[in-house]
Amino acid sequence: MRKVLLMGQANVGKSVLFNRLAGAHVTESNYSGTTVDFAKGRMRLDHEDVEIIDVPGTFSLEPKDRAEEVAASMLKEEKGALVVCVIDSSKIERGLYLTLEVIEKGYPVVIALNMWDVAKGGNIKVDAKKLEQILGVPVVPTVATRGEGLKELALRMKNAVPADVEKIMKNVGVKSGTHN
């Protein structure tokens, strides 16, 4: 079964998003050999049942604790997965680090710019379209607690493909071959 991984830092709204998307068949378990637990469930994507996983929060793929180790391992084990990178819209730069790492590894990525209401309320203006152009992956503003943007998110997930990494590096001003 195809897999969808919800990834991002702690407290960005991954679990709320997961509960909205997963609906039935939700189970909690420990990652094998650890006390780190995670939830998985199912969702319908493009007339197909897919498994959706609420991955433990992580800042990057260079783990600093057990939960981050699990997050990195889960990603590594699911080579064909679609990754939804959940970012707190009011603290975008923090979320972009992991997102770029995941994109660079060749996974199809969709960005959920969650907490869109918080950003708005704090007068933080985020240009989702521009971000989408620069990164070359779908960027969808969401308010997980209210279910806003989730239809659009599912729609963009359906069509997600791996991004052109060389092009992104050019867009962000890194010369080809100078990144590792």
Ligand X SMILES: Nc1nc2c(ncn2[C@@H]2O[C@H](COP(=O)(O)OP(=O)(O)O)[C@@H](O)[C@H]2O)c(=O)[nH]1
Contact residues for Mg ion, defined by CB under 5 A: 14-15
Nearer to ligand X (CB atom), residue 100 or residue 112: 112
| Nearest residue relative to ligand X (C-beta) | 13
Q: Quick count: other Cβ atoms within 10 Å of Cβ 82? A: 21
CB of 78 within 8 A of CB of 104? no
Nearest distance from C-beta of residue 103 to ligand X, angstroms:
19
- Contact between 90 and 119 under an 8 Å Cβ cutoff? The reply is yes
Closest separation in Å from C-beta 14 to Mg ion: 5
- Kindly state the tokens that stand for 14: 């991954």
Please give the Cα distance from 157 to 82 (Å, whole number).
8
Q: Can you name the residues that pair with 54 across neighbouring β-strands? A: 6, 39
Rounded Cα distance between 124 and 133, Å, is 19
In the complex, minimum distance from the CB of residue 132 to Mg ion, in angstroms, rounded to a whole number: 25
- Cα 152 to Cα 17: distance, rounded to the nearest angstrom: 13
From Mg ion, ligand X, none, interface partner of 141 (C-beta below 5 to 8 A by class): none
Nearest approach in angstroms of CB 80 to ligand X is 24
> Where do contacts with ligand X occur on this chain (CB under 6 A)?
8, 10-16, 57, 114-115, 117-118, 143-145
Q: 97 or 166, CB closer to ligand X?
A: 97
**Containing H/E element for 50?**
strand 48-54
Binding at 145: pick from ligand X, Mg ion, none (beta carbon under 5-8 Å per type): ligand X
The nearer residue to Mg ion, 14 or 40, going by C-beta atoms, is 14
Q: Which is nearer to Mg ion, 14 or 156 (CB)?
A: 14
